Amino acid sequence: MATNTDILIVGGGVIGLTSAYFLARSGCSVIVLEQSADPGRQASWAGAGIIPPGNPERVTSATEKLRAFSVSEIPSFSETLRELTGIDNGYRRCGGIEIFTPEEAEIIPSIWRREGIAFEELNACSLGDIEPELMVPNGSCNRRSESPVSEQSFRTFRLPGMGQIRNPWHIRAMIRACELVGVRIIRNHPVTDVVSDGDQIEHVRAADRSWTAEKYLFTAGAWTNRLLQEVGHSLPIFPVRGQMVLFKSDTRLFSSVVIIGKRYLVPREDGHVLVGSTEEPEVGFELGNTESEVESLKTFAFEWFPTLQSTPIVKCWSGLRPGSQDGFPYLGQLPTVRNGYVAAGHFRAGLQLSVGTGILMNELLMGHIPSIDLSPFRPDRSPIAVQMMAFRS
Ligand SMILES: Cc1cc2nc3c(=O)[nH]c(=O)nc-3n(C[C@H](O)[C@H](O)[C@H](O)COP(=O)(O)OP(=O)(O)OC[C@H]3O[C@@H](n4cnc5c(N)ncnc54)[C@H](O)[C@@H]3O)c2cc1C
């Protein structure tokens, strides 16, 4: 016998759960089919939870609009989650420090300025005042002669609006919130077949049962393309492994998220310091840590925070980001399937884009005009060309 629902969501990561939450709040019956016993335990659990700032009033490009729309919703959504579930998702506006090469420093701050994002450039002295443990470039205030960079090599910027979420806490809050608004999260149910008739999905198969719905939303992260191929679609969504190293200090060593290129250090309030991450598309769906990459993350961490050399590492892990051709997600209706939708391919930004994605997918599936134009993200688009992004994490 088939189980029926208004909306069937395939994949219970942060994107599926957030979409489910908003759809249930709109009055739909919603089922989330999750292949594992632990929803949210893939990329959404593994990420660093960096939340960049954004100013929806001033952004111009489609990708900036999506980021700014989503991140501006996160503070109030975090509060709603806490009130509803009693769970703190760890959202803190802790501020961030971006360290740029001269070329990056010429371009990226001007993007922030255009968007009206608050920032200030720091010299060695002011950086030392804000984060004394961060090894500053050589300069009159530099306390360490072994600094690996010269004053001219890097420029340093502080962003007071940058924040962070603690992924496992956020996932716990999302699961509880979904349950409280009536979402049925069905664990250990990998969807194996998507059966369509003409331009309609008729049902999906999971655990030897059929599941039918008015509308189907595919949010299976790095695994999404495998499912869509069942209905004749191929989207360039692929896994990009990222490894993480977690230090634990007795005291808090620093308070700002520190970003240098594609790597970063994220300090938690309780003394944990998360160091990430690698980009390894070549390993496919293989999870795990390698000695060489863990060493490279440690070297990176020690260069910028030498005090970490005497701080124990308590854990290493990896996650599979849902990569896409241009690094931006696919959001919208499948071109030739009237009742099939996708929200996947968020790559490095799925946490920060999750609230916006959930709101937008709710609007789309409910037949409303989405708060921002989703056509640039439609599944049959060409890659979006962006010269330099305002934020890389
Ligand atoms: C190391 C690392 C650091 C990151 N740092 C950040 C960051 O600082 N900020 C940020 O915004 N983002 C960050 N990200 C990116 C972010 O984590 C991802 O973009 C986001 O989690 C993607 O969410 P998702 O729900 O699409 O995918 P996932 O969390 O992977 O969820 C997909 C779900 O679908 C399920 N599934 C798959 N196939 C099936 C099937 N056939 N049937 C049923 N269920 C299925 C999976 O089991 C999984 O639970 C990071 C990612 C990594 C790996």
Q: Splitting the chain (393 residues) into consecutive groups of 10 residues, what average pLDDT does each group show? A: 87 98 98 98 97 95 95 98 98 97 94 96 89 71 47 84 98 98 98 94 95 98 93 92 97 96 96 97 98 98 95 98 96 94 98 98 98 96 85 77
Q: What is the atom index within ligand 1 of the atom nearest the CA of 189?
A: 43
- Same domain (yes/no): 85, 176: yes
Distance CA 114, CA 304 (A): 30
CA of 42 to the centre of ligand 1 (A): 5
How confident is the model at residue 137, as a pLDDT? 56
CA of 220 to the centre of ligand 1 (A): 8
Query: How many of the other CB atoms lie within 10 Å of CB of 119?
Result: 18
Contact call for residues 117 and 161 (beta carbons, < 8 A): yes
Residue 312 lies in a domain: yes
- Same domain (yes/no): 252, 204: no
CA of 123 to the centre of ligand 1 (A): 37
How confident is the model at residue 4, as a pLDDT? 87
- Same domain (yes/no): 8, 145: no
For residue 114, the domain's CATH number is 3.30.9.10
- Same domain (yes/no): 153, 254: yes
What sign for the dihedral angle of Cα 166, 172, 176, 182? positive
191-194: long-range contacts, CB 8 A cutoff, minimum separation 24: 191/10, 191/33, 191/35, 191/220, 191/227, 193/230, 194/227, 194/228, 194/230, 194/231
- ipTM score of complex: 0.99
Distance CA 174, CA 235 (A): 27
Q: What is the atom index within ligand 1 of the atom nearest the CA of 33?
A: 43
Residue 225 lies in a domain: yes
- Same domain (yes/no): 172, 183: yes
- With a 6 Å cutoff on the Cβ, whether 15 touches ligand 1 is yes
Q: What is the DSSP letter of 325?
A: S
- With a 6 Å cutoff on the Cβ, whether 13 touches ligand 1 is yes
Give me the domain span that covers residue 356: 3-89+166-236+325-377
- Same domain (yes/no): 121, 269: yes
How confident is the model at residue 94, as a pLDDT? 98
- Same domain (yes/no): 81, 171: yes
Phi and psi torsions of 165, nearest 5°: -125, 150
Mutate to test the pocket of ligand 1, among 32, 33, 35 (most ligand atoms within 8 A of CB): 35
The encoded tokens of residue 249 equal 């200090």
For residue 32, the domain's CATH number is 3.50.50.60
CA of 165 to the centre of ligand 1 (A): 15
Distance CA 208, CA 228 (A): 19
How confident is the model at residue 125, as a pLDDT? 84
- Same domain (yes/no): 320, 337: no
How confident is the model at residue 285, as a pLDDT? 98
How confident is the model at residue 147, as a pLDDT? 46
- Same domain (yes/no): 255, 157: yes
Q: How many domains does the chain have?
A: 2
